[in-house]
């Protein structure tokens, strides 16, 4: 075999390889592009993904809003609890946030088992009112929410009081009042543009608000009857009486959000704390009962009564 024949065969093999795999040219690149069917399928997949994402977005936004509201409730709780339990009479900034307080009360006779009289009292910054009307005179000037003393005094109203307005645990043998105290509040914490000196009524109504159901227990936390030396010869056990006079449970139940039309959302949370000390009654004017509503109450932490 000479070199010429070998070279000829190599050239022929190379030509056959080139024919089997021709070089790409601009003319045949169009065969590598997406077809209209492929594009339509891709758009359909992207559309399905976008619909799923858009469907999840409201859930995420609602979760963020709920977390924000719960954070505000937690921060406001510390303010309200401390002001009530410490009788913070100088916390007059509360007048910027607590704009309405109601006390829906029922006078009940446990002996006859009959309601003597139901009614309620309402308080705003400018006035106070009573239902039934005319129960006490001068209702327009009684305890408006113009200072912290009135606000704290009303929020510290005991759960049960006797006919003279004094805290009582005796709800089995004598006529008593059952008090249901609710405060309407604009959030104390939150965005600065919602806070005073903001006086735009629309901004205030659109800001985050809630209601607080306040319970100041008058029942002793320990209800078991003990044997001597904890019991006296007559009357309730001394131990229970000491607990009643010197240890109280303060319970705040928050309901939110409050809409401008008065409707409430689904938010509910209750906070509890114990106050070691007395809950003192500060009657005002010549009328002392709840019906005349000349009552304010203040905790005296670390001030204890010596119950015989």
Instruction: Return the pLDDT at 14.
Output: 52
pLDDT at 306 over 50: yes
Per-residue pLDDT averaged across 247-271, rounded? Answer: 93
132-144 pLDDT tens trace: 654 543 343 467 8
- Choose among 198, 181, 180: nearest CA to 97: 198
Q: Where are the domains of the chain?
A: 94-301
Q: Which of 105-114, 231-240, 298-307 has the lowest mean pLDDT?
A: 231-240
pLDDT tens digits, residue range 26-39? 555 555 678 888 88
Instruction: State residue 28's pLDDT score.
Output: 54
| Residue 123 CB partners (closer than 8 Å, separation 6+) | 100, 101, 102, 129, 143, 144, 145, 150, 154
**What pLDDT sits at residue 251?**
96
| pLDDT of amino acid 88 | 93
Q: Which residue has the higher pLDDT, 173 or 151?
A: 151
pLDDT band with cut points at 50, 70 and 90 for residue 62: confident
Half-sphere exposure of 145 (CA within 13 A, CB side): 23
> Helix 36-85 crosses helix 148-155 at what angle (to 10 degrees)?
100
Residue 101 has a pLDDT of: 94
* CB atoms closer than 10 angstroms to residue 4: 8
Place of tokens 């997406």: 34
CA distances from 19 to 6, 150, 289 (A): 20, 101, 112
Q: What is the pTM of this model?
A: 0.76
Q: Is the pLDDT of residue 281 over 60?
A: yes
Q: Which among 302, 301, 263 is positioned nearest to 85, based on CA atoms?
A: 301
DSSP the chain: --HHHHHHHHHHHHHHHHHHSPPP-GGGGGGGSPPHHHHHHHHHHHHHHHHHHHHHHHHHHHHHHHHHHHHHHHHHHHHHHHHHHTT-TT-GGGGGTEEEEEEEEEEEETTTTEEEEEEEEEE-SS-EEEESTTSSS-GGGSS-SSSHHHHHHHHT-BSEEETTS-B----SSS-EEEEEEEEEEE-SSS-GGGSTT---HHHHHHS-EEEEEEEE--S-S--PPPPTTSS-SSSS-HHHHHHHHHEEEEEEEEEEEEPTTS-EEEEEEEEEEEEEEEEEEEE-TT--STTTT-EEEEEEET------
Report how far residue 101's alpha carbon sits from residue 168's, in angstroms, rounded to the nearest whole number. 22
Q: Which residue has better confidence, 194 or 128?
A: 194
Lowest-confidence region among 143-157, 186-200, 237-251, 263-277: 237-251
- Give the pLDDT score at 228: 43
Per-residue pLDDT at 57: 80
Residue that has been written with the tokens 């858009």 in this structure = 54
CA distance 251 to 258: 20
CA-CA distance, 77 to 68, in Å (whole number)?
Answer: 14
Q: Between the ranges 137-146, 150-159, 230-239, 279-288, where is the mean pLDDT highest?
A: 150-159
Lowest-confidence region among 70-84, 92-106, 180-194, 233-247 = 233-247
**Over 70: is that where the pLDDT of 246 sits?**
yes
pLDDT over 70 (residue 287): no
- Whether residue 232 is predicted with pLDDT greater than 60 in this model: the reply is no
Q: Which pLDDT band holds residue 6 (cuts at 50, 70, 90)?
A: low
> Tens digits of per-residue pLDDT, 66-89?
999 999 999 999 999 999 999 999
User: What pLDDT, on the 0 to 100 scale, is given for residue 87?
Assistant: 93
């Amino acid at each position: 075999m000479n070199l010429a024949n070998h070279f000829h065969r190599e050239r022929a093999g190379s030509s056959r390889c080139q024919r089997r795999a021709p070089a790409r040219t601009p003319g045949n690149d169009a065969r590598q592009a997406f077809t209209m069917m492929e594009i339509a399928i891709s758009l359909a997949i992207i559309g399905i993904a976008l619909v799923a994402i858009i469907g999840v977005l409201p859930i995420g936004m609602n979760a963020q809003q709920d977390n924000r509201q719960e954070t505000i409730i937690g921060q406001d709780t510390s303010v309200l609890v401390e002001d009530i339990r410490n009788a913070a009479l100088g916390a007059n900034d509360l007048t910027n946030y607590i704009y309405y307080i109601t006390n829906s009360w029922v006078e009940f006779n446990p002996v006859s088992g009959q309601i003597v009289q139901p009614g309620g009292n309402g308080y705003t910054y400018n006035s106070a009112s009573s239902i039934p009307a005319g129960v006490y005179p001068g209702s327009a000037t009684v305890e408006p929410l113009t200072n912290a003393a009135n606000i704290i005094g009303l929020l510290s109203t005991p759960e049960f009081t006797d006919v003279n307005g004094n805290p009582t645990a005796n709800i089995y043998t004598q006529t008593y009042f059952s008090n249901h105290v609710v405060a309407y509040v604009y959030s104390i914490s939150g965005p600065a543009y919602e806070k005073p000196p903001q006086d735009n009524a629309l901004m205030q109504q659109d800001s985050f608000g809630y209601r607080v159901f306040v319970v100041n227990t008058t029942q002793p936390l320990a209800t078991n009857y003990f044997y001597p030396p904890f019991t006296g010869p007559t009357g309730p056990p001394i131990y229970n009486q000491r607990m009643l006079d010197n240890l109280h449970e303060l319970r705040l139940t928050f309901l939110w959000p409050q809409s401008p039309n008065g409707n409430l959302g689904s938010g509910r949370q209750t906070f509890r704390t114990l106050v070691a000390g007395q809950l003192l009654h500060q009657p005002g004017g010549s009328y002392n009962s709840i019906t005349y509503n000349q009552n304010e109450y203040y905790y005296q932490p670390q001030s204890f009564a010596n119950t015989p």
